[in-house]
Structure 1
């Protein structure tokens, strides 16, 4: 189906036929020379059928019935290119403001792209420099998602915004419109590629930190659904029109032969699939956290950490309103601004959320007393981590210090042993080593938590019924 029927509506729609044509006065509200000949009769007839005088420009420009009558007439009488010219001439004559949101789109895209790049770089630095475990598949897929997002950021500025995104279609010359259609087609494919990659990265991260077999089976099943669904929608985006080049050549005159699927319906289906999968991927880790044996404050901290994933779900929901005009608009360069903008936000927010667990580890390392959990701060206080020191308490003396004394037994080993034991016992009630008499031997121990800086240690779980001693912890 040709799109001229679609676009003519908007182009002529405002054709505001104030060409006060052919009345006995002969006065015209706008110069007819600026309007394609094919549209003259349609505009004159619409003005004559209205209550506006042919010379009353204000009335003609503000009367909706004139627009509604002229639109279908011009659509059938003119080519798509002439319809654009008619719309541009009438809007200019009516002094309608020129709308342009391309600058705002550029600022949003570039700002989010820079923030995302910084967070990914910090995450990579932390994983390579401090994390004891090597880079895993989740890291590689996240980096792949970021690498594929970089061209999208460039195309947002030099492809979409530079060729009309955020501007009314009738203000754009025809070759520029064709170029816009090509870039928009590519950006659709990139969007359908980014989301599955992001979800694969997050699912691989969950597989690394949740060891329970039942949970792993659920995660692998979710992975399969994500890959199959993502592949299907990606193929649909690539083959939305047959032949593929019909996606942009349908604007040409005369129109090329071809057909397209209902792209708007595909967009809604993908959005629903994506939101449901996001919610499911939020529920799975929360069900595992519920089983952790830890203080409720620590558990709340873990929930909040995984809860950042709700941001991308919220963005996906907010993006729904932009789909009302997706591939279903008479003014695509202006109306598609919203879907392009929200898609850009969604991809960047998704990458940022995937970086959060590792960035938390970096912040804990740099600012342990600010961002560390109660458990990590407790260990810092107890073992003097990060260069701290501890007073020599009786507890520390008993655990880490061996105290010996010759005692009153002289050369008698047994007597000496008893005396040494007594001296050590006395030390338990002493406030420091200075009160001890005899020979003192001290041994210092450095306690290291090799998993402290790895995201996989954020949640350490044991299956139900485990008799292992100790408690689950969050670091």
Structure 2
């Protein structure tokens, strides 16, 4: 998002390996300031003008020219010089911009489908009123539309994912301008996602203590999101200095963006862990069989995939088992604001930010979408009656989730007194057998989502007439 000081860019850009390549027989295309530096190095006998190997690999020759170009040229002229020399040395041209476009469109499309299924289920299947969580997730999708457009029309066409020295000055400015807009949209989307999940928890956890805790979290996240969105918008003054400062030719001030980005990422992960801990803790109080608590817990824990998009290479070993998309995003922030090849390095930030938001939307819609799919495709529930009549019923507490084998009672009607027999007997007369069963299915957790029902079923009553015995 930010750039190091122009002096640092000038000092380091030419010093990396392979910066200077073979100078053409004529110095056409090189800036005037660089032409004098290269000519001076030849005159000192550091390398012959026809010795390509020396020009491309000799450290003394490169250091001499680098020092001269750094003090004589502007940053745009340094970039032009580097581009010409690397081309002369046959350095490969790197371009991974197409991958970003494919990932952003694919992930955004999947997230949009999940949100669409969520609204279809509530509006047409359950005919429920929409809650705050529905409107917040819709707002997240709406805020994400400009981000996808920015990637497809602003970042990729202008060279995000390519080396900065292969781009024109106009392209670099356009990349940074579009990245600026995408940055504060990202902060807005992450705040809206957290509010979505908090509002969903308010609907399924009626405890007053939990609701007070959730309302406090709601207020904190709202203020946190507002603070970071405004800071991202006004991080430089004038605002346009954000996308002009790279060339070292403009005046302005900016906050220390690397610290700003890391503080946001750290707070983001902390808030996510706090929000995700609430349902995991409350799950122990739900009246579900333990076989149902496990998949429900897994469903809530999928939120950790959303969190794992923020982490750095240096800390991956520490966070190996904690939260998978917010933490991975931190990997891209290791070099954020400290490297000079911004159009190449910022690619990872844009990629993981997009994945993080889309995974968050999908995670927020998982409970509703899963129940919707089970209703459409019952086979997905995986439920069936046990073989050989091994039915189960509830204990006296219908919400306890404790299972007991069902009793089959057979009453015999005869001329004499009615007689009760066990399952194994076959006395004469007309038998009436009645048994009940409660069928648990994989979508029992639908009771956690307002407006859903636990499926109950019982096998049909059975009449049996035994032949009279002699």
TM-score normalised per structure 1: 0.76
Matches within 5 A, 1:276-291: 276-291=270-285
5+ residue gaps, structure 1: 20-27, 376-380, 384-392, 399-404, 409-418, 438-446, 461-475
CA contact (8 A) 2:21 2:52 kept: yes
1:145-193: per-residue Cα shift (whole Å, max 9, x none)?
0111122112111111111101111111122222112101101111111
The one of 5, 11, 16 aligned to 2:7: 5
2:320 corresponds to: none
1:35 corresponds to: 30
CA contact (8 A) 1:131 1:453 kept: no
Over 3 Å counting, the alpha-carbon distance change for 1:31 and 1:104 in structure 2 is: farther
The one of 94, 101, 105 aligned to 1:106: 101
Where 1:98 maps in the other structure, the secondary structure is: coil
CA contact (8 A) 1:11 1:88 kept: no
Over 3 Å counting, the alpha-carbon distance change for 1:396 and 1:147 in structure 2 is: farther
1:367-390: per-residue Cα shift (whole Å, max 9, x none)?
334336799xxxxx899xxxxxxx
Where 1:33 maps in the other structure, the secondary structure is: coil
Looking at structure 2, the residues matched to 453 and 18 of structure 1 have their Cα atoms a distance apart, in angstroms, of 65
Over 3 Å counting, the alpha-carbon distance change for 1:50 and 1:291 in structure 2 is: farther
Looking at structure 2, the residues matched to 286 and 327 of structure 1 have their Cα atoms a distance apart, in angstroms, of 37
1:233 corresponds to: 228
Once the two structures are TM-superposed, the CA of residue 455 in structure 1 deviates from its matched residue by 4.9
Over 3 Å counting, the alpha-carbon distance change for 1:302 and 1:38 in structure 2 is: same
2:468 corresponds to: none
Once the two structures are TM-superposed, the CA of residue 364 in structure 1 deviates from its matched residue by 2.4
1:338 corresponds to: 348
1:265 corresponds to: 259
1:358 corresponds to: 368
Once the two structures are TM-superposed, the CA of residue 44 in structure 1 deviates from its matched residue by 4.5
Does residue 302 (structure 1) correspond to residue 296 (structure 2)? The answer is: yes
1:204-225: per-residue Cα shift (whole Å, max 9, x none)?
0011101111111221222222
The one of 129, 132, 145 aligned to 1:150: 145
Once the two structures are TM-superposed, the CA of residue 79 in structure 1 deviates from its matched residue by 1.7
1:444 corresponds to: none
2:250 corresponds to: 256
Looking at structure 1, the residues matched to 449 and 60 of structure 2 have their Cα atoms a distance apart, in angstroms, of 65
Once the two structures are TM-superposed, the CA of residue 341 in structure 1 deviates from its matched residue by 0.7
1:178 corresponds to: 173
Looking at structure 2, the residues matched to 322 and 79 of structure 1 have their Cα atoms a distance apart, in angstroms, of 28
CA contact (8 A) 1:11 1:169 kept: no
Please identify, of 120-129 and 160-169, the stretch whose mean Cα deviation from structure 2 is larger.
Answer: 120-129
Where 1:244 maps in the other structure, the secondary structure is: coil
Does residue 456 (structure 1) correspond to residue 458 (structure 2)? The answer is: no
Over 3 Å counting, the alpha-carbon distance change for 1:305 and 1:60 in structure 2 is: same
Over 3 Å counting, the alpha-carbon distance change for 1:343 and 1:119 in structure 2 is: same
1:464 corresponds to: none
1:435 corresponds to: 430
Between structure 1 and structure 2, the one with the greater Rg is: 1
CA contact (8 A) 1:397 1:428 kept: yes
RMSD of aligned residue pairs (Cα, Å): 4.0
Paired residues in the alignment total 417
Over 3 Å counting, the alpha-carbon distance change for 1:459 and 1:261 in structure 2 is: farther
Where 1:290 maps in the other structure, the secondary structure is: helix
CA contact (8 A) 1:132 1:453 kept: no
Once the two structures are TM-superposed, the CA of residue 279 in structure 1 deviates from its matched residue by 1.1
Over 3 Å counting, the alpha-carbon distance change for 1:224 and 1:167 in structure 2 is: same
CA contact (8 A) 2:292 2:445 kept: no
Looking at structure 2, the residues matched to 311 and 30 of structure 1 have their Cα atoms a distance apart, in angstroms, of 56
Matches within 5 A, 1:41-440: 41-44=36-39, 52-64=47-59, 66-131=61-126, 133-251=128-246, 255-313=249-307, 314-371=324-381, 435=430
Once the two structures are TM-superposed, the CA of residue 332 in structure 1 deviates from its matched residue by 0.8
Once the two structures are TM-superposed, the CA of residue 257 in structure 1 deviates from its matched residue by 2.1
